[in-house]
Amino acid sequence: MQTPIAGKTARVLPGGTDEEILDWCLQPGRKPEAEQIEIWNGCMSKRGWREAASAGLAHREDIGVFLDLMDEEEGRLPQRLRPVQSRTPGIRP
């Protein structure tokens, strides 16, 4: 996704589904391959846990990583707090 942040912001503010915005972001660049997506998701699933970035989460005992914060802000129960049977690897409800 080689789109500058200002362009992404301008596209996101008017609204659209996640899929529409992702498609828009991928138009000028290239689509990541499955392995690249898996590596990125693995890194992001741990972002904020026991690292320098975790200082921004220190005041929240219910939030372990940044993806938990995103879930909570978007009205979802953070994945680590969901019942085990509702977890599907690679799919974020």
pLDDT: is 16 or 63 the higher one? 16
Residue 15 CA, chain-centre distance (Å), reads 17
Model confidence, pTM = 0.49
The per-residue pLDDT for range 57-86, each reduced to its tens digit, is 777 777 778 888 888 888 887 777 776 654
- The pLDDT > 90 percentage for the chain reads 9
Q: What is the pLDDT of residue 21?
A: 87
Q: What is the pLDDT of residue 93?
A: 47
Give residue 92's pLDDT band: very low, low, confident or very high (50, 70, 90): low
